[in-house]
Chain A
Amino acid sequence: MASEDEDYFLPPEQQRPFSSGVRRKRVQFVRSSDLDTTTAQTPSSSGTSIADKYLSIVMSQPAPNTSPNTPAQQPPSSPPIRTHSAPPAFDIIPPPPTAPAAPEHCDVCNLHIPPQAPGDSTDQKHGPHEASLAHQICLTHSHPPSHLDRTRTGLRYLSTYGWDPDSRLGLGASGREGILEPIKPRVKHGTAGLGTGLDRDGDPLPPRPAPPVKVQKLNSKQARNKAAEDKKRAERMRKAFYQNDEVSKYLGEGV
């Protein structure tokens, strides 16, 4: 009763539009006590712009380095910390960097990073490196998961020994993994020689055009004869298939 009364006294703009007839109990929410559970939040509690947040995701900027007073327009200033191939999509909250100082070589692309200069020039230098094509190409991308049926017992066996179907790696000792897909059989029909359908250099030939259909021209007499012939043949076929000896006995030939 009491809660209904509460609802009743809400200002009209906070009342739900559909509840004119049906009164609903409001579901209460409480603010989380653990602040870290929010996922996409950049750690800096200050009012960071959306651009800053985007950069922190794309460039995996570690939290502590972003000082709250960093202007939004400035590129992020931390050294790259992604050391291996975790797909970026799962990497939304970057782990804190191991060392604040920039390494000599980029861990991702193995390229030399220019030494760190004091002041905000550092930030200017690192931004471009991570945005560079070489670096971007070296980043691993996420792949669609493998097509294998996850319920198969064979897969379960392999998984217990540490094979991951989505890893895009074959079996075998590490560093010498084998093929991923079985070899596809190709059935060869007939005795066509090797390379038929290829030109002299081994490139596929364009499909051969169909031979032109010869058009035969008939004069009126020939056309008449042909029509008669066709009719005769149709008759013969009809007889062969449908003529009944019993019937012809009673009705005579030619029916």
Chain B
Amino acid sequence: MSDNRSDSEGGARAKRQKMDAGDPKNNPYLAHMYENNNGSDNAALAKFKRHQTTAALAKKAEDGDINPFSGRPFSSKYFSILKTRRDLPVHAQRDEFLQLYQQSQILVFVGETGSGKTTQIPQFVLYDDLPQTQGKMVACTQPRRVAAMSVAQRVAAEMDVKLGEEVGYSIRFEDMTGPKTIMKYMTDGMLLREAMNDPNLSRYSTIMLDEAHERTMATDILMGLLKEVVVRRPDLKIIIMSATLDAQKFQRYFMDAPLLAVPGRTHPVEIFYTPEPEQDYVEAAVRTVLQIHATEAEGDILLFLTGEEEIEDAARKIALEGDEMVREADAGPIKVYPLYGSLPPHMQQRIFDPAPPPRRPGGRPGRKVIVSTNIAETSLTIDGIVYVVDPGFSKQKIYNPRIRVESLLVSPISKASAQQRAGRAGRTRPGKCFRLYTEGAFKKELIESTYPEILRSNLSSTVLELKKLGVDDLVHFDLMDPPAPETLMRALEELNYLACLDDDGNLTQLGRLASDFPLDPALAVMLISSPEFYCSNEILSITALLSVPQVFVRPAAQRKRADEMKNLFAHPDGDHLTMLNVYHAYRSSDAQANPKQWCHDHFLSQRALQSADNVRSQLLRIMERQDLEMVSTPFEDKKYYENIRRALCAGFFMQVAKKETSGKSQYLTIKDNQSVLLHPSTVLAHDAEWVLYNEFVLTTKNYIRTVTAVKPEWLLDIAPTYYDISSFPKGDIRSALTRAADRLARKEKMRAEKHR
């Protein structure tokens, strides 16, 4: 051993000398190599030959005293984690993995959730790819921000390094990496952004696309890009990681890349259907949970529902009924946790709390119930779940290019999704899955697999990204599931109206600027043109507020009080200005003295406002980089709000509705002619003839949410091509536009006469 040690020390020394001689000083990724001069740096890895290591070699390095990546001695906690890591299913196949990884450029890896693929495979790669020797990094993409953060944290702990040093993460509006970083977890969207400025992704030696089965938009685009990049960069290695066994599709797509499948540690799950369809799936779900609690053995319950409101409602009902059962029937204690995306992280963490203990020794065991959206379907692994209740619905985004509406609709899930849900029950021991539909409905109503996001979304920001990436031939770009031609056409037309693309479809200067912002093109264009309206400071705040979750909180129990508080900030001309008022109030010294209390008092979400603050400063940095002026109209000026409203038109002129002459509060969207109502949450005081909206909400009725009153003259002035009167059919809208054009012309004439 000591022999070996001195040998490797020698090797390290030799290496160091070589580096000192070269030019590595200006390579930030190698900075850590000369920070530690205790001689043991990289000792463990000295003998490693890149892409020729084995599991045994790696094991030895992992078992050593010194952390080969940071150069510090391993802590005792490291070894306790190491022991559990070695029990993970992927560990048994480390050698097999390494062989395939070394042999081929692209590898498809299939592992059930819980096999340890997300945390372990990147570390396997690190010990073989040795990115630090190349001055490169290993990237692992995640579809969700929270996952990227939490996995990075976990892996940093496993590797016994500080988060943000060797292991880091990068998500939109937050970069937690440093010059030493060799392992980077990131959202797939972030990697796509990086590809825009670095088309060969030259900072990376290996790229892993995790959770590829989720088929997010960014992952799909990345796969298409990487297929081209691997040709240009033979040294780049790609691993596609998927949780489901439809991996053949990935294999076929990636030129028959080799496949490695690691079985998850799953137990059989018994599946039950209802004999008849349920009349009310929420009620049936609540009853099923209570029934399980009353009759089934120990084990936690996972209930899938569709949205925040539904989940909170069901959770409350279950908790109430559960308490009743405790009192009346001496049932075990029951603890209910809701889980959905917009829930604050510390609340999300609570789902990992253990189930409550029995109320007295020897009493009926307690039970934990998690009521979740489909977050818990694949991305989150919760141990201890034995029973799954599946009503067969989830909220899915869907885009209709004909009326340009992207909406979240409650839709039946797919068969693959249903299987995935059932699988959640078999993580710790044999489980049961209760499906609230008939077996016939499962076979005939459900589609095979969920449509990938790219088929269900507005593509305008994607097209802008692709154009920036240099992909001009959108027709033959090799996507796994190319979108419908009409959807792509709509995106091209929208970008053309926004002047991001010229009439021949080439990226304009504005388009290039807009693609620098991690925003929807309409928002980016609005931001870029805001200096022309002397209100870039305000528009920046509004953009930040529109990019974060809802700032207004409206708890079911205190709706009236919450609405009163909201009215304090209300601006008669609309919700955008109201949000701006909120932000200004939040930034005032009054509020900043105790922001938590202030937000609580005013029924505002401090988390949303904080992240708006963060987003604002990130966007500000981009604007400064682009030399966009930060200006404001003086508040005393009577045009202060008008300028802001005009600037809103510059981005959202395609999302305008006009009041119908006949209907009471009916509006008709311009060009798409959809009949809509103002969302009840609006503060718009007067009967605005023309409104601009941020969102089209498709529920039982068609609503437009976050609206602001505008004037047709502004629209004609700001977006003359879109509001080309001759392109409108005869009718109310056309005549209103004509009148506005006449007014404009008269004003123009008067001004001209005055000047004369």
- The interface of chain A, by Cβ under 8 A from chain B, is 148, 152-155, 157-158, 160-163, 165, 170-174, 176-189, 191-203
Contact = CB atoms under 8 A, between A and B. Distances in A.
Contact of B277 (A181, A196, A203): A196
A171 B481 CA distance: 9
Listed residue (B443, B486, B700) with the most chain A CB atoms within 10 angstroms of its CB? B486
Nearest to A148: B486
Contact of A182 (B274, B281, B399, B481): B399
B278 A177 contact: no
A151 to B, nearest CB: 11
A203 B485 contact: no
Nearest to A158: B475
B475 A183 contact: no
B35 interface: no
| A-B pairs, 7 with minimum CB distance | A154-B489, A195-B441, A178-B482, A202-B440, A193-B278, A202-B444, A172-B482
Contact of A200 (B284, B440, B475): B440
Contacts of B486: 148, 181-182
A191 B314 CA distance: 13
B613 to A, nearest CB: 35
Contacts of B410: 188
A189 B282 contact: no
B489 A155 contact: yes
Contacts of A200: 275-276, 438-440
B484 A179 contact: yes
Interface in B398-447: 398-402, 407, 409-412, 436-445
Given A153-B493, A200-B276, A194 B392 contact: yes
Given A163-B485, A203-B444, A193 B284 contact: yes
Given A155-B489, A185-B400, A193-B279, A198 B484 contact: no
Contacts of B278: 192-194, 196
B651 to A, nearest CB: 20
A178 B698 CA distance: 27
B474 interface: yes
B393 interface: yes
B488 interface: yes
Contacts of B488: 154, 158, 171
A158 B485 contact: yes
A71 B476 CA distance: 51
B409 A185 contact: yes
B479 interface: yes
B88 interface: no
Interface of B: 253, 274-284, 391-393, 398-402, 407, 409-412, 436-445, 451, 455-456, 472-479, 481-493, 496, 503-505, 698, 700
A250 to B, nearest CB: 38
B431 to A, nearest CB: 21
Nearest to B483: A178
Given A163-B475, A195-B438, A179 B489 contact: no
Listed residue (A157, A158, A203) with the most chain B CB atoms within 10 angstroms of its CB? A157
Contacts of A203: 440, 444
Given A161-B475, A202-B442, 4 more contacts: A172-B476, A187-B409, A191-B281, A192-B279
A180 B487 CA distance: 10
A203 B441 CA distance: 8
Contacts of A158: 474-475, 485, 488-489, 492
B391 A193 contact: yes
Listed residue (A161, A171, A195) with the most chain B CB atoms within 10 angstroms of its CB? A195
A202 B445 CA distance: 7
Given A153-B492, A161-B474, A172-B478, A183 B451 contact: yes
Contacts of A180: 484-485
A194 B484 contact: no
A186 B400 CA distance: 11
A199 B481 CA distance: 34
Contact of A192 (B280, B399, B504): B280
A196 B281 CA distance: 10
Contact of A194 (B436, B476, B492, B504): B436
A171 B436 contact: no
B714 to A, nearest CB: 24
A188 B398 CA distance: 13
Contacts of B391: 193-194
Contact of B473 (A161, A185, A193): A161
Contacts of B477: 171-173
Nearest to B495: A154
A199 B478 CA distance: 42
A170 B489 CA distance: 12
A165 B485 contact: yes
Contact of B393 (A148, A170, A194): A194
Contacts of A172: 475-479, 482
B476 A191 contact: no
Contact of A157 (B398, B456, B492): B492
B675 to A, nearest CB: 14
A51 B484 CA distance: 45
B280 A153 contact: no
B285 to A, nearest CB: 9
A174 B482 CA distance: 11
